[in-house]
């Protein structure tokens, strides 16, 4: 059985290669844990931060607050990209998560294909000059 860390790291690398093939520079913060989002996406002078998850999950209020504070501190969008086995990718802005009294559900929106994921991510970046 593969550990959660290894699944997540493999998924981050897979996403990195997919996005780089579409002209998005990707910096991976390996082992980021609680300190920062997993990926920084950069294109045309704009930065978008991404937290990558494997499977639908729940994020407690403390962790959600840490993510939100990261977004406020940097002024950059913070997205969650979740891989749902045999279904596809889920892209969610931290501002659009379904919240509960004690946190939020990640991976709750309808999954999309890899191509649709890339198209949705490209919408966060201005046209290249």
Tell me what pLDDT residue 86 has: 86
* HSE toward the beta carbon, residue 42, CA cutoff 13 A: 6
**First and final C-alpha spacing in the chain:** 47
For the chain, the domains span 4-122
Q: What H or E segment, with its residue span, contains residue 122?
A: helix 114-122
Instruction: Give per-residue pLDDT as tens, 80-114.
Output: 999 998 899 999 999 999 999 999 999 889 999 99
Query: Is CATH 1.10.760.10 the classification given to domain 4-122?
Result: no
Query: For the whole model, what pTM was predicted?
Result: 0.89
Specify the range with the lowest mean pLDDT, choosing from 23-32, 66-75, 85-94. Answer: 23-32
Share of the chain above pLDDT 70, in %: 92
């Amino acid at each position: 059985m593969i550990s959660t860390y290894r699944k997540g790291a493999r998924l981050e690398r897979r996403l990195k290669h997919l996005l780089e093939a579409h002209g998005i520079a990707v910096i991976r913060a390996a082992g980021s844990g609680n300190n920062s989002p997993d990926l920084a996406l950069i294109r045309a002078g704009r930065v978008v931060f991404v937290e990558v998850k494997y499977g639908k999950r729940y994020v407690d209020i403390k962790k959600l607050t840490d993510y939100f504070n990261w977004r406020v501190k940097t002024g950059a969008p913070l997205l969650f990209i979740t891989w749902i086995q045999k279904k596809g990718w889920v892209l969610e802005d931290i501002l659009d998560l379904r919240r509960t009294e004690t946190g939020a559900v990640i991976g709750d929106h309808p999954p999309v294909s890899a191509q649709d994921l890339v198209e949705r991510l490209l919408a966060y970046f201005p046209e290249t000059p």
